[in-house]
Chain A
Amino acid sequence: MIRMLIAAIAALSLAPAALADERAYATPELAAGVEEGGTLVTADILGMVCDFCAVAMTRTFGRRAEVSAVHIDLDDKTLQLVVREGHELTDATITDLVRRSGYQLTGEIRRGDAA
């Protein structure tokens, strides 16, 4: 009985951590990219109302060697990507790539824990 209680308490105590991990990354590709040492980057995008058009951003960022994963969230209106370990993608480059995709950034680009 005591063992069962201990097991239940242990399971409950681990659950929030597991949920937090699950919420941290929108896709397995983002999670894998961070797992490999990459840096998560999040940017808020204006005018991202069309899924068909947002594909432009996955194509534009997806073909960059510095980027290991890209995700678009139409609900949050955000672009998330993982920059590979040892590579750099500056704010200016991200802003330019978003513009070349036909969109516009708003707010600050967030990296790492802030992303």
Chain B
Amino acid sequence: MRHILTACACLALGAAAADARPVSYEGGWTTIAQSDRTMSSLWVHYTPRYDYSIGWRTEWDRSDDLLFNGPQATWLARRWFGEDYQGNLYAFAGAGWAEGVSDNTRGLRGAGYVGAMADWETRRWFVSWMGRVSDMGEGGHAMQSGRVGVAPYIAGFGELHTWLMVEVDHHPQEDTPVAVTPLVRFFKGPMLLELGYTPAVNEALFTFMYRF
């Protein structure tokens, strides 16, 4: 049981806070390419109903040289609406297979993860958290990350929006378990771009998201 909980926690932490808006509008497709200090991923999802999405995730864990492929489902568990704010709580799970790449000669094994995400935002402030526990065939891993952000100016609909954010992530199994990443987020229309840098490990953060 303890291992399962640990694995769940690890999986929950693996999906980064950058996976903003993991559920789109009904009939909407979203493509998300992301790279941070530990992994690079490509995720494409479709939203059949406003409260869940299904998609395919390819994720390269660069620390362990493991490549995961599999479907992911995300459920919007709760959305809070206010005149000037919105909050969301999501749960997600993915299952598939993982294999070694580069120097890792390990073969294919079953893999999976579960996690949760929460965010709250106004037009000025943004706070989010995500946690994931995963088992890529080598035991449980857990991770979590949190973000705070502020918009230096309030942009109107269709204009270029800019956010200054700081992400703190916790990967207990990494040599540097906790790292801080300042980043800038831009979005305009259906496109979102994030650029950041993690000084502790000299790695860049990159996210590109497009909604169809």
Contacts and interface: CB of A to CB of B under 8 A. Distances in A.
Report the contact-size class of chain B (Cβ under 8 Å from the partner): 20 to 34
The 5 closest A-B pairs by CB, nearest first: A56-B25, A47-B81, A47-B86, A46-B81, A100-B26
Interface in B83-130: 83-86, 121-123
Interface in A55-86: 55-57, 59-60, 71-75, 77
A10 B85 CA distance: 47
B189 A101 contact: no
A63 to B, nearest CB: 8
Contacts of A103: 81
Interface in B137-154: none
B185 to A, nearest CB: 9
B181 interface: no
B86 A50 contact: yes
24 contacts: A46-B81, A49-B85, A49-B123, A50-B21, A50-B121, A50-B123, A51-B156, A51-B159, A51-B161, A51-B187, A52-B161, A52-B187, A53-B21, A54-B157, A55-B190, A72-B157, A73-B157, A74-B123, A101-B26, A101-B50, A102-B76, A102-B79, A104-B81, A106-B83
Given A59-B25, A99-B50, A102-B23, A51 B85 contact: no
A27 B177 CA distance: 51
B118 to A, nearest CB: 15
Interface of B: 20-21, 23-28, 49-50, 76, 79-86, 121-123, 155-159, 161, 187-190, 192, 211
A74 B28 contact: no
Interface of A: 46-57, 59-60, 71-75, 77, 99-104, 106
Nearest to B85: A49
Given A47-B85, A56-B25, A100 B123 contact: no
Contact of A56 (B24, B76, B83, B157): B24
Given A50-B123, A51-B188, A52-B161, 7 more contacts: A46-B82, A46-B83, A47-B86, A49-B85, A50-B86, A51-B159, A74-B157
A46 B82 CA distance: 6
Contacts of A106: 83
B31 to A, nearest CB: 14
The CB with the most chain A CB atoms within 10 A, among B25, B188, B211, is that of: B25
Nearest to A100: B26
A72 B80 CA distance: 20
A104 B86 CA distance: 11
A102 B25 contact: yes
